[in-house]
Structure 1
């Protein structure tokens, strides 16, 4: 886990920032602007003036760079976008793509988990995708899902037997990332399924210490109550 910064506002994950390049371009045609009365030019008599600047369509210009098409997107990009139909088309053509890892070791399932695409996650798991795959820097689908607070995906992955205590390159576990993002429901599900509260990140933070440092009081309460139940089962 990274050191705690003064501002607790969460930055986008590396997966999310890289995957933004896979998104399709703005569907509005280039050179065409929405015109409202507030933005129109008017003459001295208050009448709207006709624009003299030609649009790209009027000039007859064509785009030199076309937006990405579905055919040019990889199965990883399609999974991140939630396009379950096209993901299925790719798998029908080549079933080996199901668990294919990209240049960073991410599978289609990991991309879908990172972006909260539950429908794609369910489809890939039903097709036999391996939820236990670890990327080159030890990221997992569960870690990515908890970072985004996608509780439904977290539950689905746990039901498929993933390790709730897996750690990444800097010692971050799913529980630590859930605490960092202030994702209370994810924290509750993880500890109910055996997440270890004693594991510390490389920077020395346990889940409870991290919650205190970030001022996440409700999560701190959840963690403390869980510890009390471990010592006194009658509190359950």
Structure 2
């Protein structure tokens, strides 16, 4: 379906809404020649533009003049979505008070609540929850609000979601858990919280990699230290490697020492028949080669 072509007055109204130009908006609306919900080529209305740019007074003005609060872009994103995404708490409050749809969905499955968690806006997330937001919804790829908050390091939101009863080991379509993604990103404080809520320390992604494997591969020392307190798997994983192999490949000397102190077996061979010792001997990192020469000599 083709959209009605924008008129010059439509374009002016859109620009005024985006820029927070109250006087121009009033003048344009008073002409009676421009529709308050006129749309651009992405189906964006003046209300959505004013909201996305944080212009509270303009949002109120447009709503008072009958702007459609549920209007959405072709992506499914509404004014409330953009208010939540932008962190505009006062606008979120206004839109809710005027009857905005709390759980409206974007094309990829996101809601205003989801995007508030993604961006780290705790007060907005809490407000949306108190007004009926679904907290366990998922994107098309299976990401939950807890997953995305853990990925982005939003500790306060992670804690809130867990207290509200979100499943700590909820998996994305590729079987990745919040603990896995927090470990990969190096968010040690979030790793600590998830583990205290009994997250599965050995939850594997579809390729067989565990949270510890990714932390070792990425070189996140403090995350590795925390995960090791929960007795994770140090043997061969479903991906055919061990966490020690991963640490050696990455050249993460401190992590290698931590793993060996925790009982990792450097003689364990991977799916291709190479041990961690073999990897170390061939390593480009001199300190790793020397270290393994010494420990192998005395064992």
Q: Does TM, normalized by the shorter one, top 0.5? A: yes
Q: Do the aligned partners of 2:217 and 2:250 also contact (CA within 8 Å) in 1?
A: yes
1:88 aligns with 2:102: no
Separation in 2 of the partners of 1:219 and 1:87?
37
Deviation at 1:179, TM superposition (A): 0.8
State the aligned residue count. 171
1:214 aligns with 250
Q: Could you tell me the TM-score, scaled by structure 2's length?
A: 0.52
2:70 aligns with none
Q: Could you tell me the TM-score, scaled by structure 1's length?
A: 0.65
1:178 aligns with 215
Of 114-123 and 82-91, deviating more is: 82-91
1:146 aligns with 183
Separation in 1 of the partners of 2:215 and 2:136?
25
Deviation at 1:93, TM superposition (A): 2.3
1:193 aligns with 230
1:225 aligns with 261
2:145 aligns with 108
1:135 aligns with 172
Unmatched segments (≥5 aa) in structure 2: 1-14, 16-20, 26-39, 53-81, 85-91, 93-103, 105-110, 265-299
Unmatched segments (≥5 aa) in structure 1: 1-29, 31-56, 229-236
Separation in 2 of the partners of 1:125 and 1:107?
12
Q: Quick check: which has more Rg, 1 or 2?
A: 2
Superposition RMSD in Å: 2.7
Greater RCO, 1 or 2 (C-alpha within 8 Å, sep 6+): 1
Deviation at 1:123, TM superposition (A): 1.1
